[in-house]
Structures are given as structure tokens and as C-alpha cells.
Amino acid sequence: MTSDGPVCISVINMKGGVGKTTVAALLGRHASLAGLKVLAIDLDPQANLSQAFMGDQYKQFLADKKPSIVELFNGFRPPTPTTRLPTSIDVEDVMVSNTSLGGRNLKLIPSRFDFSDQLIDAVRPDQRVLANVIADSSEDWDIVLIDCAPTESILTRVAYQASRYVLVPVRPEYFATIGFPLLKDSLDDFKGRNRGHTIEVAGIVINNSSYHYSGNRGGPERRRSTIEIKREGQKNEWHIFEQEIPFSRGFPKIMRGDFSHPGDAVFFPDFAREFFEHIGLDS
Amino acid sequence: MKDRTLTDELRLLVSRYGLDKVDVELQRLVARQPTTVTRSKPKPNGDVSRKARRPRARVKAPEYVAKMDIEGDRIATLLALAERFEAKSFLPRCADIRNFCHIHGIDEPASKSRAGAIPRLFKHLAAMDPNDIQRLLDENAFSGPAELGPLADAIREHGRAARGPNAVREASATFREPPLPQDEAGVS
Ligand SMILES: Nc1ncnc2c1ncn2[C@@H]1O[C@H](COP(=O)(O)OP(=O)(O)O)[C@@H](O)[C@H]1O
Ligand SMILES: [Mg+2]
């Protein structure tokens, strides 16, 4: 077993619906089942990653007012029906483990969709909170995966602060690369302000997330955009992964905890293996 | 992995003839098929051996657990899980059992039925850390696919409490389908 050591990766694309959450969740699951210790962090106020991992438990989580990333940022738990003072927050309390999607080796820091409000309300949200949390528990993980929101915000900075790599899923469609210059600028700006921090794009993964791209349906449009993605990638010296993620109705099913008929989603590990090898992690 | 080979062979064909030609040829083949396409081999009629077999009485999970040799402190949790298994609120479907085995690194049961999986499942559960069994119970884990309706309700409820009546909009965006590309959405 050779490995370059524990690593933190943010799954980012300034576009929505490209498969960030799907990729983050399934990479987490893959790593966990391979025996790696995984921390998955939901940085998207939409909380899709949390819902995917927790399924029906997410209802209870909301009802019980369990702590989430919101409380991690606030640094305390507000009073609840059972506690009548603000209480200190223990990172362990925030983590959800043993989910049916993530398995035994994965822990999740869940999100809530009042997260963005809370950050806007805060005078100066500290973009290093998450990096600190990870640093404090760094011995517990082989891999940390952060699922990001589709818009550039303070949360993008929060993700960068913790990450060594950025993974970018794209859909092979017209406009696929429109976000690339934005991402490049945003990363360059971050690097300029944080000179001691090494962060780079681990690569672009083509995710055929619509049936329009499967088989011949994507047609010349699909081929053109793939060429475009490769050209724009090369321009920025960003790696493009060989393995594409196939279209499969199995993906949305798995994401809601339905493991029957995964279809072509069974090929996801082809990409996962290539990705882990590329970043120097044995899975 | 039969599908894998098929994919590889198709890739080969596509690289040799191009996607369009292969696609056209496939469409042609499909069109020529009789309307009732036989997807797999039909089962042989009159499977004597099966008919001759006496139907075995189905062992229920709680009965199975009750007969197991387990220490006193974990029998109650295990029985409770067994009850849930019978009520189909724990591992309600075969696919959930497969995933459970996958996640816990145990071989899938050979049996295709839920009942047939009981021995392997409960032997594994009995050997688990009592705290972990209790957690399965407390958190109502492995209860099958998430129901999106109640989940959306819970988010809406939480949203109202957290930030007033406008909170619902974002919640409805959860698990959305990808939007149709312009050219397919009726714009020609
Ligand atoms: N390869 C794929 N095949 C089929 N559906 C996919 C695929 N990838 C993603 N999806 C679906 O597309 C939608 C958007 O994916 P998601 O991962 O939530 O994107 P993002 O996090 O970038 O917004 C979801 O409904 C998801 O299930
Ligand atoms: Mg997402």
C-alpha cells in the first residue's frame, strides 16, 4: 500500500446540476468501502449531500435540531428544549456516522439551508473555521471531501482554505467551460492571498448527467463540447480524467438510498480508482 | 460482468465504424425485432424438481433471533431489530440487504429472498458492537429509500421556524432533475 498521505479535496464548479454532489457522495462511499477513513463535508446550504447520506434520518436531524455545519461556524449550540444555555460545540457531536450510503468508515458534517443566512448575518465569518476543524482531527482521516455550493461566495474560500485539490465535474454541453476562467481567477486570487497554501485543480471529470448525452443523442454537440472541454482544460494545464461518468438513472436512485437496479452507475468505481490513483491515494 | 464486456465490444465497434453508423445499425436491428422482445431465456415448463420440493415453513426473524445463543444484554436490541425486519422498516428490500452486506464487508446471502437472508444477517448483527446495534435501532437506519415527500415537509417546517414563510423556495430545489437543454425543451 503506497499513499502520499491524507488529503482534502473540494468538488467545485460554479455551475449547478453538473454532478458535484453525486461525485462527492460516491467518491466518499467508494473510499469508505475500500477501508479509507473518510470525512465528507456538506458546504452547500441546499444540503443535498446531507440528504443523500442521511436519507430519512435527515428529517429527524432537523426535527431534533441536531448541530450542523451552522453551529460549527457559530462556535456554539444555541439553547434547545433540553439545554437552557448556549453550550460549547464538540466537532464529534456534529458528525454523522454509519449511514447506509457512506458505510462504516465515513463521517459526515451535515448542512442546513439556513446556513447561508447565518453567514450573511455574521459580521465577519471566519473562512478558516473548517480548515481548523480538519487540522484538529487530521489523524482521523485518509480523505476529506467537500461538496461545494454552485455559487462563488465566502463558502468557496472556506473550501479552498481546507483543500489541497479541487475536482471539477462538468457536463458535456454547450457552455460547459464557461465557468473555467471564473474558477481560474478565483483560485489565482486565493493563491495570491495565501502564499503558503498549495492548492491545484486535480482534474476535470466529464459527467454525462443527462440522457441527452448518452449514446448518440448528444451527437455532434456532445463531441464538440468534449473537444472544447479538453482544449480549455489544457489551456489552464488542468488534467482531464480518462474515465467519464456514464449517464445512469441509477445515480439519482442511489442518492436517495435506492440500491435496486443501479444500471451503469456500477461503473462509477472506474473513475473513482483513476481519481484516487491520480492524487496518490490507494483505494 | 457481462455488461462490461458488451461495453468494451461496443466501444471497439464505435471506434471502427463511428458512433453514427453503429447507432443506425442498432436502430435497424431493434426495428426488425418482433414486438415481444425476449429479454432472457424463458423458464423451462414444468420444473419437476421445484414442484416436488415441499414448501418449507418460513422462519420469521424474531423466531430466529429467539433461538440464537446470545448474551442477555443484546438480545432485546436484536429482537427489536428483528421485529422491524419483519415489519419491513429495517432493510425493507433485497437491495437494502445487499447494500448492508456490502457496507459491512460480509458476503451477500445466496438466497434471493429476504427470509433466506435472515441467518447471515442476524449472525452478523449479533457479533456487532452492542452500541452499534443500538444506534441502528435508535436512528432508524437502513430503512430503505428516502421518502421525498416527508423530507420536503420537514425542510419546510424547519424553514418556517428558522426564517419565516419564504423559506420554502430553496427546499423545493432539492433532488431536482437537471434542466433540459434549450434545444430539447421545445425551442426549435
Ligand atoms: N451521471 C449521471 N447520470 C444520471 N443522472 C445524474 C448523473 N450525475 C448527476 N445526475 C443527476 O443530476 C442531478 C444534479 O446532480 P448533482 O450531483 O446534484 O449536481 P450538483 O451538485 O452539481 O448540483 C441530480 O438529480 C443527479 O441525480
Ligand atoms: Mg450539489
Find the angle CA(B107)-CA(A40)-CA(A24) to the nearest 5 degrees: 80
Ligand at shortest distance from the CA of A213: 1
Mutate one of B91, B129, B139, B147 to test the A interface: name it (highest A CB count within 10 A). Answer: B139
pLDDT exceeds cutoff 90 at B140? no
How far, in Å, are A104, A151, A212, A248, A252 from residue B185 at the CA level? 42, 25, 11, 20, 21
How far, in Å, are A270, A272, B113 from residue A283 at the CA level? 12, 9, 32
Contact B175 A252 (CB under 8 A): yes
**Chain B residues touching A209 at Cβ < 8 A:** 178
For ligand 1, residues with CB inside 6 Å are A 16-22, 48, 150, 207-209, 245, 247-248, 251-252, 255; B 177-178
Domain extent for B17: 4-53
pLDDT band at residue B180 using 50, 70 and 90 as cut-offs:
very low
The residue among B53, B69, B89 that closes a domain is B53
Contact A57 B139 (CB under 8 A): yes
pLDDT band at residue B183 using 50, 70 and 90 as cut-offs:
very low
Distance A111 CA to ligand 1 centre (A): 18
The alpha carbon of residue B142 is apart from the nearest alpha carbon of chain A, in Å, by 6
Instruction: Please state the rounded mean pLDDT for residues B6-33.
Output: 67
Contact B154 A98 (CB under 8 A): no
Predicted local distance difference test score (pLDDT) of residue B164: 55
Residues 6+ apart with CB under 8 A from A149: A43, A44, A45, A46, A116, A155, A156
Domain contains B133? yes
**Chain A residues touching B179 at Cβ < 8 A:** 17
Tens of pLDDT, residues B146-174: 887 888 888 888 777 665 554 444 433 33
pLDDT band at residue B186 using 50, 70 and 90 as cut-offs:
very low
The answer on B101 and B142 residing in a single domain is yes
CA within 13 Å, CB half, A222: 19
Cα–Cα dist B66/B134, whole Å: 17
Among candidate residues A190, A217, A189, A205, the one with its CA nearest the CA of residue A243: A205
Ligand 1 probe mutation, A11, A13, A21, A22, most atoms within 8 A of CB = A22
Domain contains B13? yes
Predicted local distance difference test score (pLDDT) of residue B108: 87
CA-atom Rg of chain B in angstroms: 25
The answer on B134 and B87 residing in a single domain is yes
Nearest CA to ligand 1 atom 10: A209
CB contact A273 to B (< 8 Å): no
Domain contains B177? no
The answer on B148 and B166 residing in a single domain is yes
Complex-level ipTM? 0.86
pTM above 0.90, yes or no: no
Domain contains B178? no
Nearest CA to ligand 1 atom 2: A209
**Chain A residues touching B178 at Cβ < 8 A:** 17, 171, 209-210
Per DSSP, the residues of A34-100 read: TT--EEEEE--TT-HHHHHHHTTHHHHHHHTT---HHHHHHTEEPP-SS--S-EE--HHHH-EEEET
Mutate one of A260, A267, A268, A273 to test the B interface: name it (highest B CB count within 10 A). Answer: A260
Contact B171 A255 (CB under 8 A): no
E strand or H helix that includes residue A166: strand A165-170
The answer on B44 and B84 residing in a single domain is no
The residue among B20, B36, B53 that closes a domain is B53
The answer on B104 and B41 residing in a single domain is no
Predicted local distance difference test score (pLDDT) of residue A271: 98
The answer on B104 and B19 residing in a single domain is no
Within 10 Å of residue B112's Cβ, how many Cβ atoms?
A: 9
Contact B144 A253 (CB under 8 A): no
Find the angle CA(A238)-CA(A30)-CA(A14) to the nearest 5 degrees: 40
Among candidate residues B146, B176, B147, B170, the one with its CA nearest the CA of residue B158: B170
Domain contains B36? yes
The answer on B42 and B86 residing in a single domain is no
Percent of chain B with pLDDT over 70: 61
Predicted local distance difference test score (pLDDT) of residue A283: 73
Instruction: Please state the rounded mean pLDDT for residues B71-77.
Output: 85
The answer on B92 and B31 residing in a single domain is no
pLDDT exceeds cutoff 50 at B38? no
Which residue ranges of chain A lie beneath pLDDT 50?
A: 1-2
All domains of chain A in start order, with CATH: 7-278 (3.40.50.300)
Domain contains B187? no
The alpha carbon of residue A191 is apart from the nearest alpha carbon of chain B, in Å, by 32
Contact A98 B178 (CB under 8 A): no
The answer on B69 and B30 residing in a single domain is no
Cα–Cα dist A135/A150, whole Å: 25
Among candidate residues A248, A70, A243, the one with its CA nearest the CA of residue A167: A243
Predicted local distance difference test score (pLDDT) of residue A184: 95
* All cell numbers assigned to A20: 458535484
The answer on B133 and B79 residing in a single domain is yes
pLDDT exceeds cutoff 70 at B184? no
The answer on B106 and B18 residing in a single domain is no
The answer on B80 and B42 residing in a single domain is no
Contact A260 B159 (CB under 8 A): no
Q: Where is pLDDT greater, at A120 or B69?
A: B69
Distance separating the N- and C-terminal Cα atoms of chain A = 9
Cα–Cα dist B152/B165, whole Å: 14
CB contact A242 to B (< 8 Å): no
Predicted local distance difference test score (pLDDT) of residue A210: 77
Q: Of the candidates A33, A114, A173, which has its C-beta nearest B102's C-beta?
A: A33
Cα–Cα dist A53/B139, whole Å: 13
Cα–Cα dist A129/A76, whole Å: 13
The alpha carbon of residue B127 is apart from the nearest alpha carbon of chain A, in Å, by 15
- Structural domain count of chain B: 2
Domain contains B83? yes
Domain contains B181? no
Kindly give the number of the ligand 1 atom that is closest to the alpha carbon of A207: 1
Predicted local distance difference test score (pLDDT) of residue B63: 95
Q: Of the candidates A62, A104, A114, which has its C-beta nearest B103's C-beta?
A: A104
Predicted local distance difference test score (pLDDT) of residue B54: 58
